[in-house]
Amino acid sequence: MAVVINGRDLTIEEVIRVCRGMEEVSISPEAQKAVNKARDFIEKKLDEGAIIYGLTTGFGKFANVFVDRDETAALQENLIISHTCALGDAYEQKYVRAAMLLRCNALSRGNSGIRLSTVQTLVDMLNAGIHPIVPCKGSLGASGDLAPLSCIALGLIGKGNVEYKGEVVPAAEAMKAAGIEPVVLAAKEGLALNNGTQMMTAVGLNVLWDAMHLQKIADIACAMTAEALHGITKAYDPKIHELRGHKGQITVAANLRKLLDGSKNALRIQPTKVQDPYTLRCVPQIHGASRDAIAYAYDMVSREINAVTDNPIVFPDEEDVISGGNFHGQPMALTFDFLKIAISELANVSERRCERLINPALAEGLPGFLTKHGGVCSGFMIAQYAAASMVSENKVYDHPACVDSIPSSGNQEDHVSMGTTSARTAAMVLDNTQKVLGIELASAAQGIWLREEIGESKIDNLAPATRAAYDYIRTVSDPIDNDVIMHDELVKFDEMIKNGELLAAVEKVVELA
């Protein structure tokens, strides 16, 4: 079933279905009417010889330079060609598809003045699997994502390179093979295509989606560590969390109670200790705060994917055109900086739990570095190094990009958001955090296995939910008796987090919020 866009009620879930699931897209009849109405108004203003920014004037510092009507088409194509200044590695396909969809959705609102045929061609490219090559560096996040969105528009006009059927080919070749006619841009259309926040939002939305799943993995990893270290579950009693009242905290505590329900290792009261360290005892507070930040990001992104973010904006009912600043990425820049810090904290506390698992002074009787053959074997010693390295790297990426600004366009655009950098670094933090949590899961599973090996606790003592996690892990990775190539094992844990299989195995037993 196709995702129908109208510029008003697209959901994050629908974007994921299109950008990852290759679901087709169509424009609603109501949106088609709105787009045509706005275009008719633009044609009227052209006939009147009106002076409108980006329509009959140059761009940025050239806003005061009048452009004759017979040059407006060249103006739009030159805008796209000259603005394709993005550099670096190409964005992943899912990001480009999401950006294409979001741009189509924004244009479908009927406030951009673009022709319906032009929007439909971009939709046709998306449905045909023609994805322009978009280098990832070069956007200031105001006036929107000019460089990356210009690279998408470049493919639309049949120039540059695209990815098509698994190969990088010239755009004109792919369009011909798919039976799609490249667009010859008309007045206002170049600006309607490259002025907006869709690239940063596309990247950040994908990071957000994965973070929503990763927050559950973080709770599972904590529960596994609690099993291995004989944690105290009384700290997850709902009474104390309701007293503070934060939704995320209450949710995490409930998840941990579900995950550890029935455990004979993690108990409400442990005879050997009064309380756990913060990395176990305060997990509802720590993970919960990240959850609340992720929920905030979800709300902000849900709003942005249905926003009109180009300039100028057309109001055909009022016969008005307003040059404003909806392209400014500050709302998303702040959101994605907040998001990456929230994700990073999941790694931060996870690495500290890894340290407790391997450190013989902290591991509640587990063999040092999770090996029975200490000395001749190093076990999980350097796995913790790797986790620490990525946690430290995250701290570099966590610097908020939105607090920086470099004036551009002759100081006409004198405050920019750097929101695309916020989104890109959030993706880097996400990847690191997935890997760190994978290291914790590997370490906790090894600790659980060792408890049985040294005769302290049987695998059967696990709670049903953590047993489901452990059993799934053992279908992918065996316990480590003698040292092995650890890279190969840790990659398995990174993959089981990213492909969703570990979470699915656990959620067959308990439903996590």
Domain CATH number, residue 467 = 1.20.200.10
Q: How far apart are CA 333 and CA 345, in angstroms?
A: 19
Say if 512 falls within a structural domain: no
Other Cβ atoms closer than 10 A to 403: 10
Give pLDDT tens digits for 420-437: 999 999 999 999 999 999
Could you tell me where the beta strands, DSSP code E, fall in 269-386?
313-315, 320-322
Range of the domain at 119: 3-196
Q: Is the pLDDT of residue 55 over 80?
A: no
Q: With CA atoms as reference, report the closest residue to 215 among 131, 298, 337.
A: 298
Say if 335 falls within a structural domain: yes
Domain-ending residue, one of 137, 165, 196: 196
Kindly report the backbone phi and psi dihedral angles of residue 325, in degrees, each rounded to the nearest multiple of 5, phi listed first.
-140, 30
The answer to whether 470 is a known catalytic residue is no
Choose between 310 and 230: higher pLDDT.
230
Q: Is the pLDDT of residue 169 over 90?
A: yes
Give the pair of three-digit tokens for residue 315: 């109001």
Q: Which residues of 264-302 are buried (b: 16+ CB within 10 A; e: fewer)?
A: ebbeeebeeeeebeebbbebbbbbbbbbbbbbebbebbb
**How many domains is the chain partitioned into structurally?**
2
Q: Is the pLDDT of residue 196 over 80?
A: yes
**Average pLDDT estimate for 451-468:** 96
Q: Is the pLDDT of residue 120 over 90?
A: yes
Choose between 8 and 415: higher pLDDT.
8
User: Are 225 and 167 contained in the same domain?
Assistant: no
Whole-number pLDDT of residue 263:
98
Other Cβ atoms closer than 10 A to 175: 25
Domain-ending residue, one of 166, 196, 226: 196
Q: Is the pLDDT of residue 167 over 70?
A: yes
**Average pLDDT estimate for 341-366:** 98
Whole-number pLDDT of residue 484:
98
Q: How far apart are CA 166 and CA 164, in angstroms?
A: 5
List C-alpha distances in Å: 388 to 43, 347, 433. 60, 9, 11
User: Are 269 and 155 contained in the same domain?
Assistant: no
Other Cβ atoms closer than 10 A to 375: 7
User: Are 363 and 285 contained in the same domain?
Assistant: yes
Q: Is the pLDDT of residue 163 over 80?
A: yes
Return contacts of 364-367, CB within 8 angstroms, 24+ apart.
364/229, 364/230, 364/272, 365/456, 366/228, 366/229, 366/447, 366/450, 366/451, 367/450, 367/454
Using an 8 Å Cβ cutoff, are 219 and 252 in contact? yes
Q: How far apart are CA 325 and CA 331, in angstroms?
A: 12
DSSP 261-279: TT-SSSBSS-TT-S---HH
Q: With CA atoms as reference, report the closest residue to 142 among 9, 327, 267, 291.
A: 327
Whole-number pLDDT of residue 238:
98
**Average pLDDT estimate for 380-393:** 98
Using an 8 Å Cβ cutoff, are 420 and 197 in contact? no
Whole-number pLDDT of residue 76:
85
Other Cβ atoms closer than 10 A to 475: 10
User: Are 223 and 320 contained in the same domain?
Assistant: yes
Identify the band that residue 358 occupies on the pLDDT scale cut at 50, 70 and 90: very high
Using an 8 Å Cβ cutoff, are 155 and 125 in contact? yes
Give the pair of three-digit tokens for residue 254: 């409930």
Q: Is the pLDDT of residue 51 over 90?
A: no
User: Are 40 and 56 contained in the same domain?
Assistant: yes
User: Are 138 and 273 contained in the same domain?
Assistant: no
Whole-number pLDDT of residue 71:
73
Give pLDDT tens digits for 284-330: 999 999 999 999 999 999 999 999 998 889 999 999 989 899 999 99
Give the pair of three-digit tokens for residue 222: 């904590």
List C-alpha distances in Å: 11 to 52, 304, 313, 321, 332. 33, 10, 23, 28, 16
User: Are 412 and 478 contained in the same domain?
Assistant: yes
Q: H or E element: which one contains 5?
A: strand 3-5
Say if 83 falls within a structural domain: yes
DSSP 115-170: -HHHHHHHHHHHHHTEEE--EEE---SSSSSHHHHHHHHHHHTT-SEEEETTEEEE
User: Are 159 and 209 contained in the same domain?
Assistant: no
Choose between 406 and 123: higher pLDDT.
123
Whole-number pLDDT of residue 46:
81
Say if 110 falls within a structural domain: yes
Identify the band that residue 109 occupies on the pLDDT scale cut at 50, 70 and 90: very high
Q: H or E element: which one contains 11?
A: none
Number of H helices, E strands in the chain: 19, 9
Whole-number pLDDT of residue 426:
98
Whole-number pLDDT of residue 296:
98
Say if 513 falls within a structural domain: no
Say if 293 falls within a structural domain: yes
User: Are 11 and 117 contained in the same domain?
Assistant: yes
Using an 8 Å Cβ cutoff, are 217 and 437 in contact? yes
pTM of the complete model: 0.96
List C-alpha distances in Å: 448 to 226, 326, 367, 471. 10, 53, 11, 11
Domain-ending residue, one of 196, 218, 243: 196
Give pLDDT tens digits for 56-102: 776 666 766 666 766 767 888 888 999 999 999 999 999 999 999 99
Question: Who's near 50: CB < 8 A, 6+ residues apart?
Answer: 56, 321
User: Are 170 and 301 contained in the same domain?
Assistant: no
Say if 244 falls within a structural domain: yes
Residue 508's identity, in one-letter code, is K
User: Are 247 and 166 contained in the same domain?
Assistant: no
CATH number of the domain that 120 lies in? 1.10.275.10
User: What is the strand order of the sheet 167-170 is part of?
Assistant: 130-132, 161-164, 167-170
User: Are 218 and 147 contained in the same domain?
Assistant: no
Say if 138 falls within a structural domain: yes
